[in-house]
Amino acid sequence: MQAVIDAIDALVSWNYLRHWRHIVGVPCDAGDVNRLKARHDAASRYRMIRWHDATPFRTVGGAYSELVGLTLAYSAFDYMRDVVFRIGPRDWRGRREFYGTLDLTPLAEPLETANTYYPKRALQAALSGMVNPFLSAALLDAENPFERIHVGEALRHTFVHGKLSPSGGGFEPNTLQQICQEYRLGLLDVVTRHMMATVHDPIIEMIYGGLSD
């Protein structure tokens, strides 16, 4: 994400910021992208929660820690989708169209890990009973092209709303911890790739493309 901000700074230095919407592929302003970077930084620099040492909180504590980390990463993803790209909270069609523009390959490994630990899509089935009907249907749809992102969304949603815990509902703390860690890193990569493609690359091409001809 720092490269994205550096590109914006270059745009400012060339006095082209006023042409922002004619250059970049996002409907927001540069300030929103800066605020997205702040959320992205918080999630990418996150390592763990330090619990009070007086009381043991070993395995379950690690899973809670990664659930918090995933929540931070999904906050950055949410901000990119809802604020930077102006997708309304109930615009389900808009969300699907937006997801179709994303490179979701960084989420292939976390989903594979989830399916390895919870075969026959058992994780999706368990999460489906804790989310809204739209997301539940997406989780149960074996042909869902955006399953990778929907599983991460469901993990974040069920944890934040108090329905998911590391040792309840058939989940095992160590496996949940690994899945959430991989999803946190994958989501941050998805955000970075999309912002590079829609902000960084068009700016660099506009400013420096002509100089290399």
Domain ranges, ordered by start, for the chain: 2-11+31-44+62-212
pLDDT value for 94:
95
Please choose, from the candidates 181, 160, 149, the residue with its C-alpha nearest in 3D space to the C-alpha of residue 81: 149
Q: How confident is the model over 68-73, as a mean pLDDT?
A: 96
Per-chain mean pLDDT for the chain: 92
* CA atoms of 190 and 107, how far apart (whole Å): 8
Give the mean model confidence (pLDDT) for residues 131-159: 95
- Whose CA is closest to 107, among 191, 25, 37, 48? 191
pLDDT tier, 170 (very low <50, low <70, confident <90, very high otherwise) = confident
pLDDT for position 213: 42
pLDDT range class, residue 72, cuts 50, 70, 90: very high
> Of 145, 141, 155, which is closest to residue 187 (Cα–Cα)?
155
Confidence class of residue 212 from pLDDT cuts 50, 70 and 90?
very low
pTM: 0.92
- Within 8 A by CB and 6+ apart from 131, the residues are 139, 154, 157, 158
Tell me the H-state helices in the chain: 2-13, 20-23, 30-45, 59-79, 92-99, 108-117, 122-128, 133-140, 147-160, 173-195, 201-208
pLDDT above 90 for 113: yes
Q: Average pLDDT of 114-133?
A: 95
pLDDT reading at 97 higher than 70: yes
pLDDT of residue 186: 98
